[in-house]
Amino acid sequence: MTRNSDDRRFAELLHHRRDRLAQGDPITPPLVSAATYHLPRVDQGGFMYGRMSMPTWEEVEAQLAILEGGDCVSFPSGMAAISAALFASVSAGKRVVLPSDGYYTTRLFAEGFLRPFGVAVDYVATTAVEAADFTGAGVVYLETPSNPFLDVCDIAAVAARAHAAGAVVIVDNTTLTPVLQRPLELGADIVVAADTKAPGGHSDVLFGHVATRDAAVLQRVKDWRKLSGAVPGAFEAWLVHRGLETLEVRMERMCASAAVIAARLAAHGRVRGVRYPGLAGDAAHAVMLRQAGGFGFLIGMELESAEAAERFLAECPYLARSTSFGSTHSAGERRARWGDAVAEGFIRLSIGLEPVEALWAAMAGALER
Ligand SMILES: *Cc1c(COP(=O)(O)O)cnc(C)c1O
């Protein structure tokens, strides 16, 4: 189902420790939570203090670097990665162009902590950003497909125009993960992502990362982590390392099931509308074919009202009624309850690992009731 599932990097990821192993070393990375390290001298490198670097971060960063095609810095959450990338890229007087329809908390962050420090914050819809005016922009920030409505933009086209205007391009790649989309290869300068979602994959860890090929940006993001103290815990890094080992096979199942479910929802009389980039008629389809290796596991479905949507979620035994997405279990949430600019009956579905016919039977039954 994913068009890049024979990519060698998914094999490399599983063997990335190979060349560093000595006789008797564990094959899996040890969980090292030490805050302090043997340090008779400070001029010989190595680990010193846990806020500066930690062995278990480096293991997960090595995996992420293989997937992203760039250097990676890990963070304790997606928002910690996003705020690090923004603080590393903006200063007073700069203009930041953010998606008006992306992850809500990113906008709250910009309003609460960028604008008060003299950063000009502008919002552009994801579908309008290809033609937007970037004059004076220091940062153009994209989220494609956007969460929750799954609108997309052409990353390479926007990056070319943003670079011509002198802006840095940051892409929040959470909804597809680097298994399906690699913005650095499409011309983005910085990738941010919530590994809380599919990469961790089991709803039991918060984590995030920044990826870049720019050495100066990398240094600034690392300095931000060290000086702000927004450091991930060793156990969380270890859990995400474990999650990343199965990410590609989980994505394969989740995307294959999402394609089946989306097509059946689109044909169902009780469903008013479906957003899934894999549907040939979806507005996102052509761009996704060009820049992503698959269409993801998120589906937007609209029922006639808030009541109908809540009833459907309550009646379906295989949809966890929770926020967030990308976990082993399918989940559904009516997004208007958070104030997202979507219809009252709009549900964001995250398709998980359940056998697809069992999942569909549960959903169809809930739609009929
Ligand atoms: C969840 C999410 C985030 C934030 O991640 P946290 O780990 O919750 O901080 C950022 N961007 C997108 C698109 C998300 O879905």
206 Cβ inside 6 Å of ligand 1: yes
143 Cβ inside 6 Å of ligand 1: yes
Q: What average pLDDT does the segment 69-73 reach? A: 98
Residue 51 is which amino acid? R
- pLDDT of 2 reads 62
Cα(118)–Cα(331) distance, rounded to whole angstroms? Answer: 39
CATH fold of the domain at 8-91+162-245: Aspartate Aminotransferase; domain 2 (3.40.640)
Helix (H, G, I), strand (E, B) or coil at 96: strand
- pLDDT of 1 reads 46
Q: Are 92 and 118 contacting, i.e. CB atoms less than 8 angstroms apart?
A: yes
172 Cβ inside 6 Å of ligand 1: yes
Residue range 84-125, pLDDT digits in tens: 999 999 999 999 999 999 999 999 999 999 999 999 999 999
**Helix intervals (H) in the chain:** 9-14, 55-68, 78-89, 104-109, 155-164, 177-180, 215-228, 234-245, 247-266, 285-291, 306-315, 356-368
Q: Which atom number of ligand 1 is nearest to the Cα of residue 80?
A: 9
Q: What's the pTM value of the predicted model, to 2 decimals?
A: 0.97
Cα(50)–Cα(60) distance, rounded to whole angstroms? Answer: 15
Residue range 30-64, pLDDT digits in tens: 999 999 999 999 999 999 999 999 999 999 999 99
| Alpha carbon of 187 to ligand 1 centroid (Å) | 22
Q: How far is CA 348 from CA 88, 156, 302, 340, 361, in A?
A: 32, 27, 9, 11, 18
Pocket test for ligand 1, best of 147, 180, 206, 327 (most atoms within 8 A of CB): 147
Which tokens belong to 69?
Answer: 């095609």
| Alpha carbon of 341 to ligand 1 centroid (Å) | 17
For residue 6, how many other CB atoms are within 10 A of its CB?
Answer: 8
Matching fold, domains 8-91+162-245 and 247-368: no
Domain edges within the chain: 8-91+162-245, 247-368
| Alpha carbon of 53 to ligand 1 centroid (Å) | 23
CATH of region 247-368, choose from 1.10.1040.10, 3.30.9.10, 3.20.20.70, 3.90.1150.10: 3.90.1150.10
**Helix intervals (H) in 246-355:** 247-266, 285-291, 306-315
